[in-house]
Amino acid sequence: MLDAAPGRGQGSRATMKDVAALARVSLKTVSRVINDEPTVNPELVERVRRAAAQLHYQPNFGASALRRRDGRSSTIGVLLEDLANPFSATIYRAVEEVAIARGVSVLGGSFDEDPQREHTLTASMSRHRVDGVIIAPASRDHQYLRQEQMAGVPFVFVDRPPRLLDADVVLSDSRAGSSLAVAHLIARGHRRIAFLGDLTTIYTAEERYQGYLVALENAGIEVDPTIIARDLRTSDAAQETAGHLLDAATPPTAFFAGQNLLTIGAVRAIRERGRQRNVALVGFDDFDLADLLEPAVTVVAQDPVAIGREAARMLFARIDGDEGPSQKKIVETTFISRGSGEIAAPAERD
Amino acid sequence: MLDAAPGRGQGSRATMKDVAALARVSLKTVSRVINDEPTVNPELVERVRRAAAQLHYQPNFGASALRRRDGRSSTIGVLLEDLANPFSATIYRAVEEVAIARGVSVLGGSFDEDPQREHTLTASMSRHRVDGVIIAPASRDHQYLRQEQMAGVPFVFVDRPPRLLDADVVLSDSRAGSSLAVAHLIARGHRRIAFLGDLTTIYTAEERYQGYLVALENAGIEVDPTIIARDLRTSDAAQETAGHLLDAATPPTAFFAGQNLLTIGAVRAIRERGRQRNVALVGFDDFDLADLLEPAVTVVAQDPVAIGREAARMLFARIDGDEGPSQKKIVETTFISRGSGEIAAPAERD
DNA sequence: CTGAAAGCGCTTACAG
DNA sequence: CTGAAAGCGCTTACAG
């Protein structure tokens, strides 16, 4: 019963021709039945289905795509920053749900902010002749995708807009969300608010920084470059930087962290110093267990499920033939007060 | 410059034939160059490369697979419980790293413990003619995969063993890890240790339960079914159940939670009652920020990176022709003491 | 070292 | 409603 070697080589696989022979019909009739064309005699349909089941026949998508008018491979690409990061993973799952409902498979890939890897993976998608791609690019120039677009492959950008390319995009409102978060801290009396940001090359990192600047400007607070740290890539880097800031002569009374991992780094730095009840913190992007920390962490939450679902909707609309002008969809952020962002600034002394 | 409509239909795509015409060589010579066959005149290689670049030629994997002897699609399937769950996502990423180094793309899918969805997705992998599949099955009978195996498609199981099928597998040592964790609690004087477990149909959930039983038996502690809760699917369910147990006349003094989300549910229930300094807790599977909770959560950590990497290694060995007997690889767990598991039982009264 | 012919598994375009 | 022939883009098998 368990006699097949697990690595057994070239077994045979039934083809339409085999099914046709067993059902004693032509190849074309099998093709019609497999593709649910309605114009087949019910008796033949039955015979073909039985033969297909008996031979465990599975159609070959690659072969059918090769000859088909539309060339559809029933595959899309979903290329994100890092599928092991909850933000990317949630977008991926949301897209997967839409795709599976249409019988479409998903080729996933992670860039890790490496433009070279982006080129490798998009070229790979091209060779697989995917029907469309959802992408959160690592590179800053997307002209190279024009060729694919012109070959009929739609692209939907998520989290970061296309540059030098016309394509659909779904974004969070990073700037408005950040500005609101920083204004929230200012309203609690903070004037020395540190900023922790990811790579300046990342669109959202820049937007969140701009939101921070806008809030300070609206409140008439001068920007202090000594409490602004950008190009932080990891939780550890954020922790170290936040620690240095806290140990300085005139430390910030609050932090605004422009990303998940950076927020967690800030939490660690503040805790290490036992300052978690005195130093305020708001993070951009929600994370698991933020509500179980003490104090719980106030955040600007994004909605990755909505982002993924919307991007999938747009992509399949294009695949279905929509040739209208490119769309831009903004998904609102939600401010969630949990405690860390509601810590007031110490009374001011003059 | 940005004049292409984003949804532009059937553009043309260069084929080998086009490249051959432009380079003034035969189709076959282009094929040789694209496949890096060494027996081509360097001058022709150069001409072909230039023509290919000029036409933005990308080979068609599907077409080449169709005719190739080995029929390789340069695609593998990675089908896990839920790619949005960090455990699955980390395995996926580890596999992706190995695959990308070989120029292989990854079709990802999530089952959500739905055997029907497992059948849908494996059939889809079959139609895409993937070169191999890594799978954490939701179903309990995997005989239906025999056909694919016999057609030459290797399967590597992760997290859960194949049933009624002979295939490679990579597992955590759930039973030993669980038994150790419960013994750890017993050593702190606990005798009323509640068990929270996932669906009994899940292999690992059963193994972790068996580990719990073994530890109790070794210590001569009678099993009390009133403090054993299985078939819990969500964090909320675990929270509710743990709450009921804590509110009972003779509550448990410790919890062992057999999975990530259940551990978090237990944390919430214990906290709601302000008992986090009195009730001990050990969870199976580590999670982000477990070390930042108060008390920090003691866990039996798995190593999803090692699991994914090992599974990928096994799969590519099979794809490369290894036909040896099926392998079973056990990845050790690591016990991490952080505080919640080191809370002693209240002094016993008789 | 190079190329013309056949064929992979399927769908198209056409004829009956 | 059914089928025989041609062809999708490529590699194989063979000849030169």
Q: What is the pLDDT of residue B198?
A: 95
Q: What is the pLDDT of residue B10?
A: 52
pLDDT tens profile B259-314: 999 999 999 999 999 999 999 999 999 999 999 999 999 999 999 999 999 999 99
Residues 6+ apart with CB under 8 A from B177: B208, B211, B284, B300, B302, B333, B335
Fold (CATH) for B75-171+304-331: Rossmann fold (3.40.50)
CATH of B174-302+335-348, one of 3.30.540.10, 3.40.50.2300, 3.30.420.480, 3.40.50.150: 3.40.50.2300
State the amino acid at position B152 in one-letter form.
G
Rounded to the nearest angstrom, the minimum Cα separation between B34 and chain A is: 12
Pairing relationship of beta strands A334-336 and A298-301 according to DSSP bridges: antiparallel
- CA gap A203, A140 in Å, rounded: 9
Contact criterion met (CB below 8 Å) for A313 and A98: yes
Q: Which residue in chain A is spatially nearest to B143 when comparing CA positions?
A: A2
Asked if the Cβ–Cβ distance from A121 to B100 is below 8 Å, we say: yes
Asked if the Cβ–Cβ distance from B155 to A292 is below 8 Å, we say: no
pLDDT tens profile B138-172: 999 999 999 999 999 999 999 999 999 999 999 99
Q: What is the pLDDT of residue B43?
A: 87
Helix (H, G, I), strand (E, B) or coil at A284: strand
Whether the beta carbon of B60 falls within 7 A of nucleic chain C: the reply is no
Domain with CATH 3.40.50.2300 in chain B: 75-171+304-331, 174-302+335-348
Asked if the Cβ–Cβ distance from A9 to B152 is below 8 Å, we say: yes
- CA gap B263, B281 in Å, rounded: 8
Summarize chain B as % helix, strand, coil (round to 5). Answer: 45, 15, 40
Average pLDDT, chain B: 92
Q: Taking the CB of residue A157, how many other CB atoms lie within 10 A of it?
A: 26
pLDDT tens profile A288-305: 999 999 999 999 999 999
CA→C1' distance for B85 and D10 (Å): 40
Burial B15-48 (b: 16+ CB within 10 A, else e): bbebbbebbebeeebbbbbbeeeeebeeebbebb
Contact criterion met (CB below 8 Å) for A303 and A334: yes
Instruction: Give alpha helix (H) positions in chain A.
Output: 16-23, 27-34, 42-54, 61-67, 86-101, 115-127, 146-150, 174-187, 203-218, 235-247, 260-272, 304-319
Chain C bases under 7 Å from protein CB?
1-5, 7-13
- CA gap A221, A179 in Å, rounded: 13
Contact criterion met (CB below 8 Å) for B308 and B94: yes
Question: What single string gives the DSSP state of each residue in A38-68?
Answer: S-S-HHHHHHHHHHHHHTT----HHHHHHHS
Chain A residues touching B95 at Cβ < 8 A: none
- CA gap A238, B2 in Å, rounded: 39
pLDDT above 90 coverage of chain A, percent? 87
- CA gap A87, A93 in Å, rounded: 10
Q: Over 70: is that where the pLDDT of A4 sits?
A: no
Q: Over 80: is that where the pLDDT of A1 sits?
A: no
Cα B108 → chain centroid = 11
- CA gap A158, A306 in Å, rounded: 11
Q: What is the pLDDT of residue B11?
A: 62
Cis peptide before B225 (omega within 30 of 0): no
Inter-chain contacts counted by CB atoms under 8 A, chains A and B: 228
Chain A residues touching B90 at Cβ < 8 A: 84
Query: Which residue of B35, B56, B170 to mutate against A (max A Cβ within 10 Å)?
Result: B56
Residue A6's nearest CA partner among B110, B259, B322, B54 is B322
Contact criterion met (CB below 8 Å) for A131 and A99: no
CATH of A16-59, one of 3.90.76.10, 1.10.260.40, 3.40.50.920, 2.60.40.10: 1.10.260.40
Average pLDDT, chain A: 92
Rounded to the nearest angstrom, the minimum Cα separation between A199 and chain B is: 22
- CA gap B63, A80 in Å, rounded: 27
pLDDT tens profile A31-51: 999 989 888 888 888 999 999
Asked if the Cβ–Cβ distance from A66 to B61 is below 8 Å, we say: no
Report the residue count for chain B.
350
Q: What is the pLDDT of residue B338?
A: 97
- CA gap A194, A253 in Å, rounded: 8
Helix (H, G, I), strand (E, B) or coil at A317: helix
Q: Over 70: is that where the pLDDT of B325 sits?
A: yes
Of B10, B61, B154, the CB nearest to A6: B154
Question: What single string gives the DSSP state of each residue in B284-324?
Answer: ES--TTGGGSSSBPEEEE--HHHHHHHHHHHHHHHHTT--S
Residue A164's nearest CA partner among A148, A136, A144, A137 is A144
E strand or H helix that includes residue A195 = strand A193-196
The reported pTM is 0.92
Contact criterion met (CB below 8 Å) for A80 and A111: yes
Whether the beta carbon of A151 falls within 7 A of nucleic chain C: the reply is no
Footprint of strand D on the protein (CB under 7 A): A 25-29, 32, 38-41, 43-44, 63, 66-67; B 13, 15-17, 27-28, 31, 34-35, 59-60, 63-64, 66-70
Contact criterion met (CB below 8 Å) for A339 and A296: yes
Q: What is the pLDDT of residue B348?
A: 53
Residues 6+ apart with CB under 8 A from A190: A253, A254, A280, A345
Asked if the Cβ–Cβ distance from B62 to A66 is below 8 Å, we say: yes
Chain B residues touching A58 at Cβ < 8 A: 123, 126-127
Asked if the Cβ–Cβ distance from B154 to A326 is below 8 Å, we say: no
Q: Over 90: is that where the pLDDT of A235 sits?
A: yes
Asked if the Cβ–Cβ distance from A293 to B292 is below 8 Å, we say: yes
pLDDT tens profile B6-60: 444 456 789 999 999 999 998 999 999 998 888 888 888 899 999 999 999 999 9
CA→C1' distance for A33 and D5 (Å): 20
Q: Over 70: is that where the pLDDT of B232 sits?
A: yes
Q: Residue A133 forms beta bridges with which residues?
A: A77, A155
Contact criterion met (CB below 8 Å) for B23 and B15: no
pLDDT tens profile A56-115: 999 999 999 999 878 789 999 999 999 999 999 999 999 999 999 999 999 999 999 999
Average pLDDT over residues B320-326: 93
Average pLDDT over residues A303-322: 96
Whether the beta carbon of A37 falls within 7 A of nucleic chain C: the reply is no
- CA gap A303, B203 in Å, rounded: 33
Q: Taking the CB of residue B252, how many other CB atoms lie within 10 A of it?
A: 23
Residue A40, class by beta-carbon neighbours within 10 Å (0-12 exposed, 13-18 middle, 19+ buried)?
A: middle
Residue B48's nearest CA partner among B27, B67, B68, B65 is B27
Domain with CATH 1.10.260.40 in chain A: 16-59
Contact criterion met (CB below 8 Å) for A282 and A298: yes
Q: Over 50: is that where the pLDDT of A333 sits?
A: yes
Q: What is the pLDDT of residue A219?
A: 96
